[in-house]
A and B are shown apart, each in its own frame.
Chain A
Amino acid sequence: MQHLLSIHHLEKSYGEKRVLHSFDLNLFRGHIHGLTGPNGAGKTTLIRIINQIYKPDKGYVLFNGEKLLQKHIQQIGYMPEERGLYTNMCVGEQLLYLGQLKGMHKQEVRKKLGIWLECLDLEPWRDKKINTLSKGMAQKVQFIATVLHEPELVIFDEPFSGLDPLNVNLIRQEILTLKKKGHSILLSTHRMESAEGLCDEISFIDRAHKILEGTPVSIKNHFKEDRYGIQIELREQFLWEEFLRTHSVSEVKKHKNNCSFKINKPKQTSTEDLLRSLMSIGNIRTFQQVVPTLEEVFLQAIKNSRNA
């Protein structure tokens, strides 16, 4: 599958401070790629380089296989984290201006604007000034401004911040619709649950470096340990006590004979041996390998990277 965006060995420093170091990233056509990392990791700088606001010190960006140029700006839509609109301009007038700045013709903007305003329930607000809109509505206006020119690449920086659950769901659905239509999306977010549900691939950035990349499933599998969650109905109390003494068990919850706990399986012990030991102390109800959440993986990856 061809990459829409390929970033190669990108380097960027602000004076003495290095913000991106030998950074590589590939965004597949029609995929959603999550970009996550702590504040100051280099995400916004990377996005600004893709938007040609900043120039890299070294490395290069390929868009559709071509070196990124000014002409590609029209094929990129960007919704920054720090959102703003001209407060004294009307919704329609503002979107007309922003659409034209992206290279659209007036008639073309007017035509598509009606569809989008209808879709996001903003048609009655077309002639209202931005300062009369609620925060959620203003955010919808910004969403329209980002996608109005139907860009091949859409970049969202924290698209859900400040939105109520209803609007989070609405924007989420719109992002998925964009993906279905074949748009490629770069999504920078701190919300791991959003990244997990939406993204096809995720890159973790910390201190100017990309520390991890892959699909959510592959990343989680990579970080999963020999740790199991078990529910058991105990038969022999003394055997249970012996089991506790000889194994690394945690998060024990016991009610009469019913017991749940987590166990780190020793490397020298096979899963069959562990199951046999458990069967000797009671009847196993559930036996499930514990898969870490993305948030846990994220914290672990940062810890590993900083200790390395």
Chain B
Amino acid sequence: MRKTALIINREYRTQIRQKSFVIMTFLAPLALIGLATAITFINHSVSNRQYVAVIDESHFISPELKSVENFTFSFFDSSKKSEVKRRLQKDINVLLIIPQVDDLSHLERSISLYSYKSPRINLLKELEKILSQKIANLKLKKNGIDSDLLKASEAHVQLKTISLKNSAQQIQQNETKSLLIGSVMYILMMFIIIYGVRVMRSVLEEKNSRIVEIIISSVRPFQLMMGKIIGTALVALTQFILLLLIFLAVVLVFQLCPLSLFTEIRGPLGEIHTFIQSLQSIDLGFLFGMFCVYFIGGYLLFSSFFAAIGAVMENESDTQQYSIIGSMILIIGFYGGVSALDNPNSSMVFWCSMIPFTSPITMLGRLYSGVSGLQIGSSLTVLVLSIWGMIALSAKIYHIGILRHGEKTNLRTLKNWFHL
């Protein structure tokens, strides 16, 4: 046990000291926050107001057009067309010419937009939307229908979902929760891939540097493999906790600042504030606990598989295909989890949350949908049994593989190894 602790300690200290760990843990979140802030301020520092000159020869639309938040409409007579076109490079962004038509239905395809440079797509779409609405209103008016009355009669239904199975406890399936769980599932998937592959690289490095024979003349290969896996898992958990602390620090900053500050700065920062406010309704402690349980489970399963692959292969390029296979399986689990947010009880989602290779991620997606304790227990039991089987299999392959050099390994040679 003391020797395994020594291996865990070495693995942990080596990886924590690596530059990639510091960059991934501290600089990447700071860079993300900096980027988001920069984008927000750039967007708000650039004026979005568009000055639109309108020449309405039909006289249908101009009485209906009123300047709104992003658009200032100026109306001109058709005789001033040339003058307005000259001003296009200066104080006017675009020129809208509405021709004279007898029938409103012809108007839809007759309006032209002039600009010196290509107009922004958003501007084009917004103008189309405003004009379509105005023409529709005119059509309704022509047919004797009051558009205000029509708008007042519109209804938007929102269903409250109540699970009878869970003591009539209300299941809160709101956007915040889905976003949070989706993010947690994504982080879980990425952590398993990143750290599983890191175990594989570490095994390969020891194998190729030939130090492994010295080590396993002092400790059992199983101890070395487990020391490596546990050491790397601790690095992952350290990184996750540090990221969580950074996240909580950001939450604290947002909570301490008054809401008015964010409403003044419209856009992403305000949305982040709203998102953080709504997090209070979620049991974050439970989510963190389940994340740790499923991370450890999924990580042990995949990293022992990756350790065996690292022991069998000769160089890093050979291992890539297996990394892709592992990643593909985890991506299936992630999509199972995403489906679970929408339909937590479909048969596909159920099986994904039971099969050990996909269950660590998919089950997280089902956690807040009223999944029974029995199903969580069954999924964890299958996962634990699979981990045991995978570690036993990988340990055997690892034991032999790490001392093999210069020979291609296939299923036949693997079979022979089991006789060693």
- Do A and B interact with each other, yes or no? yes
Task: Please tell me which stretch of B74-82, B111-119, B216-224, B377-385 contacts chain A, meaning at least 4 of its Cβ atoms lie within 8 angstroms of it.
Answer: B216-224
User: Does B419 sit at the interface, judged by CB under 8 A?
Assistant: yes
Q: A15-B416, A101-B3, A101-B6 are in contact. Are A78 and B210 (CB under 8 A)?
A: no
A75–chain B nearest beta-carbon distance, Å: 12
Q: A73-B217, A88-B14 are in contact. Are A14 and B210 (CB under 8 A)?
A: no
User: Does B213 sit at the interface, judged by CB under 8 A?
Assistant: yes
User: Does A102 sit at the interface, judged by CB under 8 A?
Assistant: yes
| B217 x A84 contact (CB < 8 A) | no
| A15 x B419 contact (CB < 8 A) | yes
Bound-state Cα–Cα, A76 to B214, Å: 11
Q: Give every chain B residue within 8 A of A53 (Cβ-Cβ).
A: 213, 216-217, 221, 403
| B218 x A102 contact (CB < 8 A) | yes
User: Does B209 sit at the interface, judged by CB under 8 A?
Assistant: yes
User: Does B211 sit at the interface, judged by CB under 8 A?
Assistant: yes
From B6, B209, B213, B405, give the contact of A100 (CB < 8 A).
B6
User: Does B1 sit at the interface, judged by CB under 8 A?
Assistant: no
From A14, A78, A86, A101, give the contact of B219 (CB < 8 A).
A101
Q: A14-B419, A53-B403, A101-B3 are in contact. Are A86 and B209 (CB under 8 A)?
A: yes
User: Does A279 sit at the interface, judged by CB under 8 A?
Assistant: no
User: Does A287 sit at the interface, judged by CB under 8 A?
Assistant: no
A47–chain B nearest beta-carbon distance, Å: 9
Nearest opposing residue in chain A for B224, CB measure: A101
* Contact residues of B between 207 and 255, Cβ < 8 Å to A: 209-221
Bound-state Cα–Cα, A236 to B220, Å: 76
What's the interface size class on B, roughly? 20 to 34
| A101 x B215 contact (CB < 8 A) | yes
User: Does A26 sit at the interface, judged by CB under 8 A?
Assistant: no
Nearest opposing residue in chain B for A84, CB measure: B210
| A98 x B419 contact (CB < 8 A) | no
From B10, B403, B420, give the contact of A97 (CB < 8 A).
B10
| B403 x A78 contact (CB < 8 A) | no
**Contact mask A77-112 → B, CB, 8 Å, 1/0?**
011101111111100000001101110000000000
User: Does A54 sit at the interface, judged by CB under 8 A?
Assistant: yes
* Contact residues of B between 364 and 420, Cβ < 8 Å to A: 403, 405, 416, 419-420
Bound-state Cα–Cα, A97 to B211, Å: 12
B398–chain A nearest beta-carbon distance, Å: 12
Q: Give every chain A residue within 8 A of B7 (Cβ-Cβ).
A: 101
**Contact mask A36-55 → B, CB, 8 Å, 1/0?**
00000000000010011110
User: Does A205 sit at the interface, judged by CB under 8 A?
Assistant: no
From A70, A88, A98, give the contact of B214 (CB < 8 A).
A98
**Contact mask A285-297 → B, CB, 8 Å, 1/0?**
0000000000000
Bound-state Cα–Cα, A70 to B218, Å: 9
| A97 x B6 contact (CB < 8 A) | yes
User: Does A145 sit at the interface, judged by CB under 8 A?
Assistant: yes
A102–chain B nearest beta-carbon distance, Å: 5
Q: Give every chain A residue within 8 A of B216 (Cβ-Cβ).
A: 51, 53
B5–chain A nearest beta-carbon distance, Å: 10
| A78 x B10 contact (CB < 8 A) | no
**Contact mask B246-274 → A, CB, 8 Å, 1/0?**
00000000000000000000000000000
Bound-state Cα–Cα, A245 to B212, Å: 63
Q: Give every chain B residue within 8 A of A76 (Cβ-Cβ).
A: 217
Nearest opposing residue in chain A for B215, CB measure: A101
Between A and B, 25 residue pairs with Cβ closer than 8 Å are: A13-B419, A14-B419, A15-B419, A48-B403, A53-B213, A53-B217, A70-B220, A73-B217, A73-B218, A78-B217, A79-B214, A80-B214, A82-B210, A82-B405, A84-B214, A85-B209, A85-B211, A86-B211, A88-B14, A89-B14, A100-B6, A101-B3, A101-B6, A101-B218, A142-B214
Top 9 nearest A-B pairs (CB, nearest first) are A84-B210, A15-B416, A84-B211, A101-B218, A84-B209, A82-B210, A51-B217, A78-B217, A80-B213
For the complex with contacts A80-B214, A145-B214, 8 further pairs of A-B residues with Cβ separation under 8 Å are A14-B416, A14-B419, A73-B218, A76-B217, A78-B213, A78-B217, A80-B217, A82-B210
> Which residues of A are interface residues toward B (Cβ below 8 A)?
13-15, 48, 51-54, 70, 73, 76, 78-80, 82-89, 97-98, 100-102, 142, 145
